[in-house]
Amino acid sequence: NPVLNSAKYISNYIKDEKLKNYLIFQTMYIGINPYKSSNLYTLIPTISQVYGLWYIKGGMYSYIKALEKVFLEMGGNLHNNTNVKEIIINNDFAKGVVTDKGIFRSNMVICNSDFPYTINSLINKKEHKDGYTHEKIKSLNYSCSTFIIYLVLRRKYKNLKVHNIYIGKNFRENIQAPFIGSIPKDPSLYIYCPSRVDSSICKNNEEVLNIILRVPNLSFKKFIWDDKLVKCTRNKVLKTLKNIKGMEDIEENILYESYLTPKDLKDKFNSFYGTAFGIGHNLNQIGYFRPHMKSKGVKNLYFIGSSTHPGNGVSVVINGSKLLVDEIIKNS
Using one digit for the tens of pLDDT, what is the confidence trace for 30-52? 899 999 989 888 888 888 889 88
Give the dihedral sign, CA 258/262/263/265: positive
Report the distance separating Cα 237 and Cα 221, nearest Å. 22
pLDDT tens digit string along 116-127? Answer: 999 999 999 999
Superfamily name with CATH number, domain 83-140+283-331: FAD/NAD(P)-binding domain (3.50.50.60)
Please, how many CA atoms are within 13 Å of residue 220, restricted to the half-sphere of its CB? 19
Rounded to two decimals, the pTM is: 0.93
Segments making up each domain of the chain, as ranges? 1-52, 83-140+283-331, 144-276
> Is the pLDDT confidence value at 1 over 80?
no
Question: For the segment 94-111, what is each residue's pLDDT rounded down to a tens digit?
Answer: 999 999 999 999 999 999
The mean per-residue pLDDT over the stretch 135-153 comes to: 97
